[in-house]
Amino acid sequence: MNLPKLYQILAFSLFLTACDQSVNQDTLTVYTSRQPQLIEPILDKYSEATGIDIVLLSGNAQQLLERIEVEGINSPADLFITVDAGVLWQASQANIFEPISSSILTNNIPKNFRDPEGKWFGLSKRIRAIVVNDKGNQAPPKSYHELAGKQWKNRLCLRTSAKVYNQSLIASMLFRLSEEETHKILSGWSNNLATKVFSSDTLALKAVQSGQCDATIVNSYYLGRLIDQQIGNNLSIIWPDQESFGVHVNISGGGVLKTSNNKAEAVKLLEWLSGKEAQKDYAFINLEYPVLQDQELHPILKSWGNFKEDTMPVHQLGVLQRQAVLAARKADYN
Ligand code: FE
Dist. CA 140 → ligand 1 center (Å): 24
Give the residue-averaged pLDDT of 151-161: 98
Domain 126-248+308-330 is of which CATH architecture? 3-Layer(aba) Sandwich (3.40)
For residue 258, how many other CB atoms are within 10 A of its CB? 14
| pLDDT reported for residue 24 | 58
Dist. CA 264 → ligand 1 center (Å): 30
User: In degrees rounded to 5, what are phi and psi of residue 52?
Assistant: -85, 125
Strand partners for 81: 32, 254
- What residue spans define the domains of the chain? 5-125+250-297, 126-248+308-330
Euclidean distance between CA atoms 123 and 282, whole angstroms: 8
**95 pLDDT above the threshold of 70:** yes
Domain 5-125+250-297 is of which CATH architecture? 3-Layer(aba) Sandwich (3.40)
Higher local confidence (pLDDT), 16 or 195: 195
| pLDDT reported for residue 20 | 44
| pLDDT reported for residue 41 | 95
Dist. CA 326 → ligand 1 center (Å): 23
Task: State the average pLDDT for the chain.
Answer: 93
Dist. CA 89 → ligand 1 center (Å): 17
| pTM: predicted TM-score of the whole model, two decimal places | 0.91
Dist. CA 26 → ligand 1 center (Å): 31
Dist. CA 6 → ligand 1 center (Å): 43
Dist. CA 219 → ligand 1 center (Å): 7
Sign of CA dihedral 199, 200, 201, 202: negative
**Given this chain, do its domains 5-125+250-297 and 126-248+308-330 carry the same CATH topology?**
yes
Per-residue pLDDT of 41-61, as tens digits, reads: 999 999 999 999 999 999 999
Of 128, 205, 144, 149, the closest CA to residue 177 belongs to 144
| pLDDT reported for residue 3 | 35
Please, is 206 exposed, middle or buried when counting C-beta atoms within 10 Å of its C-beta (0-12, 13-18, 19+)? Answer: middle
**6 pLDDT above the threshold of 50:** no
Q: What are the E-state strand segments in the chain? A: 27-32, 53-58, 79-83, 121-132, 215-219, 236-238, 248-256, 289-290
Dist. CA 126 → ligand 1 center (Å): 9
| pLDDT reported for residue 13 | 36
The least confident of 17-21, 210-214, 218-222, 259-263 is 17-21
Contacts of 214 (CB under 8 A, 6+ apart): 132, 133, 135, 136, 152, 155, 156, 208
Euclidean distance between CA atoms 270 and 44, whole angstroms: 14
Q: Are 275 and 292 in contact (CB under 8 A)?
A: yes
Dist. CA 311 → ligand 1 center (Å): 21
Find the helix or strand (DSSP H, E) in which 328 lies: helix 321-330
